[in-house]
Chain A
Amino acid sequence: MSGKSLERYFRSIQNSREKRPSGRLWCPAADVYRTDEGWIVKVDLAGIQPADIEVMIDGPVLRISGLRRDGICGEGVYHYQLEITYSRFEKMIQFPRSIEHASIDRDYRDGLLILRLKEEQEESHKGRARAAGRK
């Protein structure tokens, strides 16, 4: 009986409405650009107060976390449909090498969080060379 449920699960796992493993938090979408100076990371984070966003670097990992609150709710307002995810989010971006020493320039506008990571000179050199090689 329950064996059947497992089977059924495997069959329909592609359906997004079914149960599936997830993290504890939601995860916003992000683009990552390579530039001469370093990296540009663009995260889709609309409706968030900049104070609620926290950015951390740990070795080669960039971690963006925070909290989206729904400011519209209140007396006499009811949700009819919910598609925006609120509450805590977390986005981890893995870089090819450590970004520990990069400086971060933070810009939040039009619902997008844009982070510019400037690497130190010699490191960026290497990165460029590798990027050129890849092309």
Chain B
Amino acid sequence: MAEAEKTSDKETAPPASPKPEGVPFEIPVLPLTNITLFPETMVPLAVGRPASIAAVEAALSGEEKLLACVSVRPDQTSNGDARPAELFEVGTLVMIKRMERVEDTMHLIVQGSDRIRVLEWVQREPFLRARAQILPDLEVKNKEEVEAAKRNVQGLIQQALAYLPQVPPEVRMIVLSADDPVRLAYFLGSILSLGVEKEQQMLEANTVDELMHRAHDFLAREVEIIRLRSKIASEAQTEMDKAQRDYVLRQQMKAIQKELGEDETGELAEAAQLRERLAKADLPDDVRKEADRELSRMEKLPAMAPDYHVIRTYLDFILELPWKISSEDRLDLNEAQRVLDEDHYNIKDVKERILEFLAVIKLRPDAKSPILCFVGAPGVGKTSLGRSIARAMGRHFERLSLGGVRDEAELRGHRRTYVGAMPGRIIQSIRRATVNNPVMMLDEIDKLGADYRGDPAAALLEILDPEQNNTFTDHYLDLPFDLSKVFFIATANQLGPIPAPLRDRMEVIALAGYSDREKLQIARRYLVPRQVRENGLTPEQLEITDEAITLIATLYTREAGVRQLERTIGRLGRKVALRIAQGQTEKVVVDAGDIDDFLGAPRFFPEEARKELPAGVATGMAWTEMGGMILFVEASLLPGGSGLTITGQLGEVMQESARAARSYLWSHAEEFGISPDMFKSYGVHMHVPAGAIPKDGPSAGVTITAALASLFTGRRVRPDTAMTGEITLSGLVFPVGGIKEKVLAAHRAGIHRIILPARNEADLEDIPEDVRRELEIVPVTRINEVVDTALEKLVANPPPPLRVTESARDRPEQDSEPLIAKER
């Protein structure tokens, strides 16, 4: 490939035509910093240093324009002209193809020709000149390996091109069609910017194998970098695309809002509106401060922000609350009395309590409202009493059912940090009432639940304490609200489930059940007129006699209240309405005899007093939520048995009463004329019908004692006598509750004598006079009085024979007569 011309004139400056390798020649040297020139590549260069320009000019003055390019070692950091020691020994012989001068610099295009090795430096000033020799062509050691490396390199180039879609196709062609491996490797070396160190390594490679190996390594690294770069770039692109998309959507939303007339000016108007309303509203100072703060926060938020609406709702709520609005109480006591009487029959003490309170308010307007708690069976009128209290006082009425509420947050609200937070029921009721002094009825306070989320009863403690509730803080509102003017009325069916601290805060007013006589009055005054009205009748069209109402109350309903009674009267009314609408008649008078026709056969047969009781059975009285009832305690001896068997769904307390009764009788057996051996010889079974109804409580103690005493003595319990009272092991009789209901029930059942604990005598005042007149009431303080009063004197059923010895147990049927004789 080299030319035939082989002159090597060492005297003349320009070298002759390049020689085959080995023959040294002198040549000007251009030191290159930061780049390496490879053979077989064409490279543009800019030359500015005077020494370099001198070297180039020396090359240009030669016949062939040849120049040696040698790189400066990268670790040599001299700022001036490069010295020979700073240069590598291997460089490239280049041919200057183009040159132009631009001001003081020379722009060159050079073409790399051969690798050269510098042998010695022959000149340093004004430019470097070296004696060099051309290095032999690279030889191929392993052809297959070179081919494989070449293909790998081409594969890598293809990979790189895949990441660079902007490279035009013709360029791809040029790159991929370079099939000479050496040329390809040198080309890669020149374009990859590997750094002088690596480039020099490639330049100094002496075999094609080595060169290809290095080129492959370096290229692989580059491709990896390109891959990473493109990955990072595409991720960044994705991010940008998302932001772009959001922006576009927001712009569209803005446009839509503008179309709908909800543009930004609307937002401003909303805030301004709220500000105006705040200015007008009569708010306490701290509330105003908080509201202003929230409003200015809201103004800073875009309408799209979720917080914007939270604050808006909150401010709306603050504005709607009656911070300082109170309704004026009606302080005409006579008028209030009239309203109460009009709505409710009897219940004198409740009415008195209301009137007392109104009197206090009249004298001292800033008095705290009382907190009442009505306790009574369903249908006795607790809720309607609350309504009529509100009516009598001229206050707003708000009812709030607590039945099943088991989350403190329901009463006191959620904090606003929660999504969908709402104020509690108390504050919501106040807002609905639109005044800060309504009558607020907390219905079914005994049905409050509690679970791990909190105990609503505990929240009620604050609400119902007049000392604390003037600064009641709802979680949502987060501002104290004065509840002290609210007239709280709680209702409950039972006091038991109400936690003691809560019970303690309320003034408990028990609404006892109604007697038949009271029911008659209530029916005549309220229920019948209302049902007549509801069924589209006129008072002239339907008339129900007192006897008929009493019959309905006793045989068709069983309750302490009047709800069932009203419903039954309603049924009657509908039947009558049907007849009148059908034109069968113009007016109906319902008498006791007609009830069957309208309502069918009687539904309930109250436990009637039994005409005759065998020994061992006593009549007791019980209290239920439905009112009072009588029940029978039955006991019988079990020959050969032992201990006490108790059946009839009796609760723990009642079972203990039974054991106490037996033990008392046992320990005082002689006193009652019983042989103590009876207790050892016979087992006792005690049963209390109806067996399916669970019963509990201490008040049956007296009855059980009477039944057992009767059983052991053989003296029957008087059938006209019913009794109640708790007993102690020392023989005392303690008072019990529910006297009114019990006595009324006993009276209904046809009992004439009632045995009561002496300390319950005060309760008798509640019993209507007419009932009391028909009853003989026997107050007792000790068990022996009970036994004396309840049992007949006559031994009607003599107790069975007694077995005295252990051996006697084995022959139970024998020798009974003499033993009884002995006992007597």
Which A residues are closer than 8 A to B by beta carbons?
1-7, 9-11, 13-14, 17-26, 52, 54, 65-71, 73-74, 77-83, 85-88, 90
Contacts and interface: CB of A to CB of B under 8 A. Distances in A.
Interface string B83-109: 000000000000111111100000001
30 contacts: A1-B193, A2-B194, A2-B222, A2-B225, A3-B225, A3-B226, A5-B192, A6-B160, A10-B171, A11-B167, A19-B44, A20-B41, A20-B42, A20-B174, A21-B40, A21-B42, A21-B174, A24-B1, A24-B39, A24-B114, A26-B95, A26-B97, A73-B14, A79-B99, A82-B98, A86-B63, A86-B64, A87-B64, A87-B113, A88-B2
B229 interface: yes
Nearest to B172: A10
Contact of A67 (B43, B64, B229): B64
Given A6-B191, A67-B5, A22 B57 contact: no
Contacts of B161: 10
B601 interface: no
B226 A78 contact: no
Nearest to A87: B64
Contact of B193 (A5, A68, A78): A5
Residue from A7, A11, A24 having most chain B Cβ neighbours under 10 A: A24
Given A6-B222, A21-B41, A22-B111, A66 B193 contact: no
A65 B3 contact: yes
B44 A18 contact: yes
B191 A5 contact: yes
B4 interface: yes
Interface in B59-93: 60-66
Given A85-B95, A86-B65, A79 B57 contact: yes
Given A70-B63, A82-B96, A88-B17, 9 more contacts: A2-B194, A6-B191, A17-B109, A20-B187, A21-B183, A22-B41, A25-B1, A78-B57, A79-B60
A86 B95 contact: yes
A24 B40 contact: yes
Contacts of B39: 24
Given A3-B222, A73-B62, A21 B184 contact: yes
Contacts of B183: 21, 23
Contacts of A5: 191-193
Contacts of B170: 14
Contacts of A2: 192-195, 222, 225
A36 to B, nearest CB: 34
Main secondary structure of the interface of B (DSSP, over half): mixed
Nearest to B17: A67
Contacts of A21: 40-42, 174, 178, 183-184, 186-187
A39 to B, nearest CB: 24
B100 A81 contact: yes
A79 B61 contact: yes
B3 A19 contact: no
A13 B40 CA distance: 16
Interface string B163-176: 01011101100110
Interface in B1-54: 1-5, 14, 17-18, 39-44
Contact of B226 (A6, A17, A24): A6
Contacts of A3: 222-223, 225-226, 229
Contacts of B66: 87
B513 interface: no
A66 B3 CA distance: 7
B707 to A, nearest CB: 105
Nearest to A75: B61
A24 B134 CA distance: 13
B714 interface: no
Nearest first, the 4 closest Cβ-Cβ pairs linking A and B are: A69-B63, A82-B99, A3-B225, A87-B64
A14 to B, nearest CB: 7
A78 to B, nearest CB: 6
A71 B57 contact: no
A17 B167 contact: no
A66 B95 CA distance: 14
A122 B170 CA distance: 41
Contacts of A13: 167, 171, 174-175
B112 interface: yes
A85 to B, nearest CB: 5
Contacts of B226: 3, 6-7
B784 interface: no
Contact of B44 (A17, A26, A71): A17
A9 B187 CA distance: 11
Contacts of A66: 3
B174 A87 contact: no
A10 B183 CA distance: 17
Nearest to A22: B42
Contact of B101 (A19, A20, A73, A80): A80
A83 B191 contact: no
B192 A69 contact: no
B710 interface: no
Contacts of A17: 44, 109
Contact of B164 (A10, A19, A90): A10
Contacts of A26: 95, 97, 111
Contact of B61 (A1, A23, A77, A85): A77
B190 interface: yes
A69 B17 CA distance: 9
Contacts of A52: 3, 5
A81 B18 contact: no
A70 B99 CA distance: 14
A13 to B, nearest CB: 5
Contacts of B223: 3
A119 B170 CA distance: 38
Interface in B185-222: 186-187, 190-195, 222
A85 B65 CA distance: 8
A90 to B, nearest CB: 7
B3 A82 contact: no
A74 B100 CA distance: 19
Residue from B4, B5, B65, B187 having most chain A Cβ neighbours under 10 A: B65
A17 B107 CA distance: 10
Contacts of A14: 168, 170-171
Interface in B234-272: none
Contacts of B17: 67, 87-88
Nearest to A25: B113
A107 to B, nearest CB: 21
Contacts of B40: 21-24
A19 B111 CA distance: 9
A80 B5 CA distance: 28
Contacts of A4: 229
A82 B60 contact: yes
